[in-house]
């Protein structure tokens, strides 16, 4: 099943954008873990729409109702099931796309895959709305990791042609991660963030949309986590990252820049630090070698495409009579989904790391 991910921990995401509810079932979480509901709410609020003109005007209360798996604020070890009600839906905005394919959306491919029975309202099961249960699952995993000193954090690295400062791939710290986590606009350099914000507003007024890149880092992941070939730490992270709608690219460490390097530039030389720990002088490998963590910060960049729903007329086809048509999309859409995708990336990475950490001795 495409909406189930299993790797020690398993998650099953269900629901459609304009259905009664969406949700997730998480299985194989460690028992006895304290879950701070207020912190879950803070994490979920980062994904929720803002009132600053950078996101959709759709307003939903994203705090899930936990049906099972938590008792007296502790995980029970049984499946944790949570659902989120959909209350602010305008399904009438999608009346014309039951027969018209929106460019950049999965309407066409979904109709082929499910023989025309897929729910197209708001994108149905393909919608970015389904990142809410993913964020919930990742927020739970993040709390479990942070009690072991493992922190995952992300920020907007770029939007359009404006670029933020980067994390230090060798020395990124807990403070670096927490400094940006709860910013209204999650960038390191607030001046660059202001330029990005203004660019998003221009795109919105011009009936356009923008994409960008999210940088993510995970620190204090012990060396030796993961496996080679098909069950590597990179593999697990990639599977979950590509479960976020609009993700079109992923690179670890120096990523595609390594193709321009020679071996002596790309190789990260080892040394023993003053505390007897094996480290590397650089971190082009992004903290993972052979699918296994090296003990260095895990770093990755995620490319997010521009929101495909724009108000400009676009050429498309009519399924009902196989004719060429022009589509004008109605509804409420983000001019840029990058800011809201930041916690989604953190959630995906936290899920992957916790899943592999369950193999770690005395976890």
**Domain that residue 307 falls in:** 4-357
What phi-psi label fits residue 141: left (phi over 0), alpha (psi between -120 and 50 degrees) or beta?
alpha
CA angle, residues 219, 222, 223, in degrees to nearest 5: 115
- DSSP, collapsed to helix, strand or coil, labels residue 135 as helix
pLDDT value of position 124: 75
CA distance 185 to 140: 23
pLDDT value of position 361: 87
Q: Give domain status of residue 362, yes or no.
A: no
pLDDT value of position 109: 86
- DSSP, collapsed to helix, strand or coil, labels residue 5 as strand
pLDDT value of position 117: 81
Q: Give domain status of residue 21, yes or no.
A: yes
Largest Cα separation within the chain, whole Å, is: 72
CA distance 154 to 218: 9
CA angle, residues 247, 142, 153, in degrees to nearest 5: 55
- DSSP, collapsed to helix, strand or coil, labels residue 194 as helix
Reading the block at residue 137, the tokens are 């699952």
CA angle, residues 210, 155, 86, in degrees to nearest 5: 70
Reading the block at residue 233, the tokens are 């730490």
Tell me if 360 sits within 8 A of 259, measured CB to CB: no
Strand blocks (E) in the chain = 4-7, 9-15, 21-27, 65-68, 70-71, 74-75, 80-85, 151-159, 162-163, 212-219, 247-252, 270-272, 278-280, 288-289, 292-293, 298-304, 314-318, 323-327
Q: Give domain status of residue 305, yes or no.
A: yes
pLDDT value of position 327: 86
pLDDT value of position 299: 98
pLDDT tens for the chain, 363 residues long, are 579 999 999 999 998 888 888 999 999 999 999 999 999 999 999 998 876 655 555 455 677 899 999 999 999 999 999 999 988 655 555 555 667 888 888 888 888 888 878 887 777 777 888 999 999 999 999 999 999 999 999 999 999 999 999 999 999 999 999 999 999 999 999 999 999 999 999 999 999 999 999 999 999 999 999 999 999 999 999 999 999 999 999 999 999 999 999 999 999 999 999 999 999 999 999 999 999 999 999 999 999 999 998 888 999 998 878 899 998 887 668 899 999 999 999 999 999 999 999 989 888
pLDDT value of position 10: 97
pLDDT value of position 59: 55
CA distance 306 to 64: 28
Q: Give domain status of residue 363, yes or no.
A: no
Q: Give domain status of residue 50, yes or no.
A: yes
**pTM of the complete model beyond 0.75:** yes
Q: Give domain status of residue 218, yes or no.
A: yes
- In this structure, what CATH number is given to the domain that contains residue 27? 3.60.150.10
Q: Give domain status of residue 59, yes or no.
A: yes
Alpha helices for 29-130 (secondary structure H): 37-47, 107-113
What are the Cα distances from residue 140, in Å, to 63, 134, 321, 354?
13, 10, 48, 10
Q: Which residues, in sequence order, are CB contacts of 114 under 8 Å at separation 6+?
A: none
CA distance 42 to 178: 13
Q: Give domain status of residue 353, yes or no.
A: yes
Q: What total of structural domains would you count in the chain?
A: 1
What phi-psi label fits residue 123: left (phi over 0), alpha (psi between -120 and 50 degrees) or beta?
left
């Amino acid at each position: 099943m495409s909406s189930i991910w299993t790797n020690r921990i398993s998650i099953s995401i269900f629901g459609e954008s304009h259905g009664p509810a969406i949700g997730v079932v998480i299985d194989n979480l460690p028992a006895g873990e304290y879950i701070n509901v207020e912190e879950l709410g803070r994490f979920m609020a980062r994904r929720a729409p803002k009132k600053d003109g950078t996101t959709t005007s759709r307003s939903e209360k994203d705090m899930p109702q936990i049906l099972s798996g938590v008792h007296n604020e502790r995980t029970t070890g049984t499946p944790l099931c949570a659902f989120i009600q959909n209350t602010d839906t305008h399904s009438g905005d999608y009346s014309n796309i039951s027969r018209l394919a929106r460019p950049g959306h999965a309407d066409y491919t979904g109709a082929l895959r499910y023989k025309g029975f897929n729910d197209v309202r708001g994108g149905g099961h393909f919608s970015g709305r389904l990142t809410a249960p993913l964020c919930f699952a990742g927020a739970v995993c993040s709390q479990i990791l942070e009690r072991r000193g493992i922190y995952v954090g992300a920020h907007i690295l770029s939007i359009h042609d404006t670029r933020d400062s980067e994390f230090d791939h060798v020395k990124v710290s807990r403070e670096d991660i927490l400094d940006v986590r709860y910013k209204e606009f999650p960038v390191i350099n607030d001046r660059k963030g202001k330029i990005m914000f203004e660019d998003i507003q221009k795109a919105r007024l011009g009936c356009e949309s923008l994409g960008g890149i999210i940088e993510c880092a995970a620190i204090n992941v012990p060396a030796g986590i993961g496996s080679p070939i098909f069950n590597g730490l990179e593999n697990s992270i990639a599977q979950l990252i590509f479960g976020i709608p609009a993700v079109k690219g992923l690179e670890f460490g120096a990523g595609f820049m390594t193709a321009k390097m020679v071996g002596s530039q790309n190789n990260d030389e080892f040394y023993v630090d003053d505390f007897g720990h094996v480290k590397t002088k650089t971190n082009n490998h992004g903290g993972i070698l052979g699918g296994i963590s090296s003990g260095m910060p895990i770093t990755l960049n995620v490319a997010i495409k521009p929101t495909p729903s724009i108000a400009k007329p676009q050429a498309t086809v009519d399924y009902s009579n196989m004719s060429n048509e022009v589509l004008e999309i109605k509804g409420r859409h983000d001019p840029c989904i990058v800011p809201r995708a930041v916690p989604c990336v953190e959630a995906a990475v936290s899920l992957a790391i916790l899943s592999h950490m369950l193999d770690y001795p005395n976890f």
